[in-house]
A = this chain, B = another copy of it.
Amino acid sequence: MPTLKDVARLADVSTATVSHVLNGKKKVSPEVAERVLRAVSETGYRLNTAARSLRTGRTGILGLIVPDITNPFFPQLAQAVEARAKTAGYATVLLESGYQVDTEAQGLDFLARHRVDGLIWVMSGGPPRHAQPDFPTVVVDYAPPSWNAVHADDYGGGRLQARFAVEAGHRRVALLWGPLTVTSIQERRRGFLEEAGPHLEIVHECSAPFGLTLPRTTERELLRAQGDYSLIVCGNDMLAVAALRALKRAGLDVPGQVSVIGFDDTSLAQIVEPPLTTIAQPVRRLGNLAVEQLLELISGAQQAPRQQVVPVTLKERGSTRRLTLRAAPTAAEVA
């Protein structure tokens, strides 16, 4: 594979000149530039980024760690991050942690060894066991104290779920969370319980790994309690879909006999039948903000850790029934 030296030789200039032409940092006579560019294409020269970053100490790469790429929320987040990063000249490298802390640690190591310029990290559980990475890092979906973070208002979203339940006339509910080690789930739960207060009676509560199918026992217990609740509140859309499938398999009508509410407003919400009532996270916005904050961190423009929270909204669709005639609550009312 040809190197700068090969190009330089062919163009009859020094390697420095070739570098100048290619990086446009210094003035070069058009004539020489022309010669260099021809030599570049004749040799099929390609920059060796290893050599460059060894020299410059920068890579032009941002890492992105997400827990699960089969949850449609994360591909969407990844697309937003990637697009925004690209406009700033950064490439993005996507890693999946599988909600496993050791995989996550391996990923961090990988990124550190490769000297990425920054990291956007959707933690799979918190608080972090690791010290802060030694490169600029923005945590998404959770705000560990003294870390830079961008996340949706999970707490507020949980409250929205509860508020909706109350307003729609539900009294007895079942809760189906994801793993409680996941901080956003904790927050959603906390918000829900706080807003629910005495207005809602929790007749069943359980956690399940994120997935489109419930574990056997979770399903069994959820269905056994059926009849006792009129609504299942779910930790995210995947679990809401899983609940929907379980109910359907048991021959129950949604929302006729049981209502279901999710969280995230992923593409799943609109393709299941009935479409999911859910809490919408502004994914694109989260991705953009995360990248922008990371860029500031990288440029050194930002000093103290900053935590940004973006609001969520309720999307009422067909998976929930209103048992009363009251109007739907708005985000503003709950906030």
Of B48, B69, B82, B212, the residue contacting A113 (CB under 8 A) is: B48
Of B1, B94, B109, B212, the residue contacting A270 (CB under 8 A) is: B212
Neighbouring B residues of A93 by C-beta, 8 Å:
93-94
Bound complex: CA of A91 vs CA of B110, how far in Å? 9
Contact A115 B69 (CB under 8 A): no
- Answer whether residue A180 sits at the interface, using C-beta atoms and an 8 A cutoff: no
**Binary contact readout A203-218 vs B (1 if CB under 8 angstroms, 0 otherwise):** 0000000001000000
Query: Contacts A50-B54, A271-B241; is A75 near B79 (CB within 8 Å)?
Result: no
- Answer whether residue A335 sits at the interface, using C-beta atoms and an 8 A cutoff: no
Which residues 40-88 of A sit at the B interface, judged by CB distance below 8 A?
44, 46-51, 53-54, 59, 69-70, 72, 75-76, 78-79, 82
A-B contact pairs, 25 of them (CB 8 A): A1-B115, A1-B134, A44-B134, A46-B109, A46-B112, A49-B50, A49-B115, A50-B50, A50-B51, A50-B53, A50-B54, A50-B59, A54-B54, A69-B69, A69-B75, A69-B78, A69-B79, A70-B75, A72-B72, A78-B96, A82-B96, A212-B270, A245-B270, A245-B271, A272-B273
Neighbouring B residues of A10 by C-beta, 8 Å:
none
Neighbouring B residues of A75 by C-beta, 8 Å:
69-70, 75
- Answer whether residue A252 sits at the interface, using C-beta atoms and an 8 A cutoff: no
| CB closest chain-B residue, reference A134 | B1
Neighbouring B residues of A110 by C-beta, 8 Å:
91
| CB closest chain-B residue, reference A91 | B110
Bound complex: CA of A53 vs CA of B72, how far in Å? 35
- Answer whether residue A268 sits at the interface, using C-beta atoms and an 8 A cutoff: yes
- Answer whether residue A20 sits at the interface, using C-beta atoms and an 8 A cutoff: no
Neighbouring B residues of A267 by C-beta, 8 Å:
70, 212
- Answer whether residue A5 sits at the interface, using C-beta atoms and an 8 A cutoff: no
User: Which 9 A-B pairs have CB atoms at the shortest separation, nearest pair first?
Assistant: A273-B273, A69-B75, A50-B50, A50-B54, A50-B53, A49-B113, A70-B75, A94-B94, A47-B113
Bound complex: CA of A230 vs CA of B91, how far in Å? 47
Neighbouring B residues of A47 by C-beta, 8 Å:
113
Contact A79 B70 (CB under 8 A): yes
Neighbouring B residues of A272 by C-beta, 8 Å:
271-273
